[in-house]
Amino acid sequence: MRTLHVSVREARMSVERTLLTCGVPSGAAHGVRECILLSEALGLGGFRYLLEKHACLQWAAFQSVAAKDSALDGGGIHAWLVLPTLMDLAVAQARRDGVAVLIVTNVVEPRELKVAEALAKRYGAEAAVLEGAIAVRNASRPVTAEQWDPLLRAAMKHGFDVAEETWRALHALSNGALAPDSVVSRRHAGPVILQDDGSIRGRLPQDDDFDMSMLKKVAS
């Protein structure tokens, strides 16, 4: 089986589209997407788990998440979905007190909480995860891309090594977030809108070989 070297840009696009097909709100998809990319970089569930278990990413469970003092009850939500919020809370407490320890229970795939150790660096913090407890310590703010996220930096240089079968299947799944090809979708593609009277609204294409008729027909 071949291995593909997937760029960070391509990975972000396909993962975020997949999250949208799962019903994750667009405002939350960015943070969850980064958790999945870090999971892949750390050798955890990553892209393979997203492909096989995407149905487990039920955003409706977020309404059952409850935090009290130093404990967070996930209410049955997937760890990826709660991690961005969890880290916001933990880092805020660490900024105030120097250190924070959160006990996390009732989440799906608790091993994915390990992503918090990599995610903390982006906040200028250090985290350690052990048996459902996340300890966060305030640290120096990152001043270079390497300090901000060494895993992401490495991925930007070398890409993610992904089995071809896995990546092609995930890419196909992500296409479910795209609008079906139609006259309407083509008329509103890119920086221009083709109006009913045939006039163009927006920035005209700069490509010399651009075929404007492409906006008027749909492949059979």
Residue 219: both structure tokens together: 């492949």
Average pLDDT over residues 171-194: 71
Of 192, 197, 201, give the one whose Cα is nearest residue 214. 192
pLDDT the model gives residue 19: 95
Res 176: pLDDT: 86
Confidence label for 31 from pLDDT (cuts 50, 70 and 90): very high
The Cα–Cα gap between 34 and 148 comes to 13
Strand partners, 101: 135
Whether residue 184 is predicted with pLDDT greater than 90 in this model: the reply is no
pTM of the model: 0.81
Q: What distance in Å separates the CA atoms of residue 117 and residue 123, rounded to the nearest whole number?
A: 11
**Average pLDDT over all residues of the chain:** 87
Judge contact between 42 and 49, C-beta under 8 A. no
* Gap between the Cα atoms of 26 and 198, Å rounded: 33
